[in-house]
Amino acid sequence: MPEEALRTLDRIPLYMLDKDAAGKVLLLKSELCRETGDFGAALGYLEESGKAADFPERYAVLLALARRYEESLEQSLICAGNDVTRSKAVSNLFRKAPGLKNESTATLLSFIPPLGQIYLGKPAEGIASMALNAGAAGFTVWQLIGHNWITGILGGGILLNETFLKANMARNVSGVEEANRTAAEEFARSLENLLDYHYIHASNNH
């Protein structure tokens, strides 16, 4: 249970430990944070431990998970060393590093379903959203044409609020971080394989 282990380690007064012991505690916290999916904290603890140079592959992968791709590339090339073939493969991989999705762009594209979903890499969800919004808009127009003003305005407004604002726009904006995180994790897995680095769970590593 990494969360409980982290809470236990947080109670250790690092200032009372020597530099090496404090570094080992921070290194363990880095591993535990990675297990919980808090990659930013995992990277921060590794850097704070002063032992990043001792674990270059781990450092490169954590930089990638934190979406610091330029620094990760530099560190990965250091890991590749004089292996020309691996260095070339690393450079080729980073040319395909995922770009970060932007909330403003997702919001703008959400005005035309399914563009917002396509931007986030979810075309099937976009088609479903387009169908739902078209149905809601069609119902609203049909009711207004039939002079059913209350049903058209209130009912249509409620439907469009659910399909357009909530299921479409709000969902796309909230999905930006998830899309960025998923892309970074997939990229990091490719980097792990390329560097021949296999993450070992903290429970097995300490």
In tens, the pLDDT along 65-124 reads 999 999 999 999 999 988 899 999 999 999 999 988 999 999 899 888 889 999 998 899
Where residue 206 falls among pLDDT bands split at 50, 70, 90?
A: very low
The two tokens of residue 24 are: 């080992």
Burial of 73 (0-12, 13-18, 19+ CB in 10 A): buried
What is the rounded distance in angstroms from the CA atom of residue 190 to the CA atom of residue 81?
18
Report pTM: 0.73
Amino acid at 162: E
- Please measure the distance between the N-terminal and C-terminal CA atoms of the chain and give it in whole angstroms: 14
pLDDT at 198: 56
Residue burial 150-180, b: 16+ Cβ < 10 Å; e: rest: eebeeebeebbeebbeebbbebbbebbeebb
Per-residue model confidence as pLDDT tens digits over 3-52: 999 999 999 999 899 999 999 999 999 999 998 989 999 999 999 999 89
What is the rounded distance in angstroms from the CA atom of residue 57 to the CA atom of residue 59?
5
What is the rounded distance in angstroms from the CA atom of residue 159 to the CA atom of residue 75?
51
Of 59 and 135, the one with more pLDDT: 59
